[in-house]
Amino acid sequence: MTHLAGSAPADMTTYTAVCRLEDIDRESGVAALVDGSAVAVFRTYDDQVFALSNYDPFGLASVLSRGIIGTRTLAEETVPFVASPLHKQAFDLRTGRCLDDASVVVPAYDVVVADGVVLVGGVKESR
């Protein structure tokens, strides 16, 4: 879950400061190294912030941070996604699940924004 206001998480040792929220343009992403893993951090048009692995399992390259941000309606639910810049597969920003092939999932990370700073935590549990 993304928190856009307030203070930092209680256990700061499990989060890595990536950048200031204002450093990420709306509808775009940035790449960051978090505990040795390439992570793509995204900001949506409505200031939600998400983090996925930067690795595109279809294109076999670390490029998801350069993908196209959008939404898709699935079963009457609006799903925020990033489309890979290589082969255009869409990944749910909340879960990392590929919207084009449900058997493929990239890791999704916990993210908080505290005092204007984007903090990335550990990998979320699969849903």
9: tokens are 């998480």
With 0.85 as the threshold, say if the pTM is over it. Answer: yes
Q: How far is the C-alpha of 33 from the C-alpha of 53, rounded, in Å?
A: 10
**Cα-Cα-Cα-Cα dihedral sign, residues 33, 36, 38, 44:** negative
Q: Give all domains of the chain, ordered by start, each with its CATH number.
A: 12-123 (2.102.10.10)
Q: Over the stretch 48-61, which tens digit does the pLDDT of each residue have?
A: 999 999 999 999 99
Contacts of residues 19-24 at CB distance under 8 Å and 24 or more positions apart, as own/partner, are 19/117, 19/118, 20/116, 20/117, 20/118, 21/47, 21/49, 21/113, 21/116, 21/117, 21/118, 22/116, 24/49, 24/118
At residue 13, what are phi and psi to the nearest 5 degrees? Answer: -70, -15
Q: Over the stretch 84-108, which tens digit does the pLDDT of each residue have?
A: 999 999 999 999 999 999 999 999 9
